[in-house]
């Protein structure tokens, strides 16, 4: 990758936080009372992602994106999962763009 590692490619806002995409990693910033104790940043290197789970949001149901990589620990409650972001219908296109970008760059 010829881009600078700290250059922001784009960002997406979900219901429970923000994902910032760099050329070599994603940073997940959490929001809300649930994540007050762990009020930090989750960094996942794109080269480590093995798959992406994605559910599009609808008027009645939230969507989510979940990042799978070796050693990841998942929470059965998607809203509390550190490797996931929940989003609403108006953010579908932003999260599809994120999924497409990462699918093009994962190995």
Q: Where are the beta strands (DSSP E) in the chain?
A: 8-14, 17-22, 25-30, 41-45, 51-55, 63-68, 84-87
Q: Chain-centre distance of CA 48, in angstroms?
A: 14
The 3-state DSSP class for residue 22 equals strand
The per-residue pLDDT for 21 is 96
pLDDT of residue 40: 75
pLDDT in tens, 35-92: 445 557 899 999 999 999 999 999 999 999 999 999 888 888 888 888 999 999 999 9
pTM of the model: 0.85
Smallest CA-to-CA distance from 1 within 16, 18, 17, 22 is with 22
């Amino acid at each position: 990758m010829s881009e600078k590692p700290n250059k922001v490619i784009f960002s997406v806002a979900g219901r429970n936080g923000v994902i910032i995409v760099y050329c070599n990693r994603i940073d997940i910033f959490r929001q809300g009372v649930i994540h007050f104790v762990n009020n930090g940043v989750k960094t996942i290197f794109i080269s480590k992602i093995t798959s992406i789970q994605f559910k599009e949001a609808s008027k009645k149901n939230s969507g989510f994106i979940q990042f799978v990589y070796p050693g990841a620990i998942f929470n059965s409650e998607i809203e509390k999962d550190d490797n996931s972001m929940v989003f609403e219908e108006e953010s579908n296109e932003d999260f599809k763009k994120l999924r497409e970008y990462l699918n093009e760059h994962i190995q």
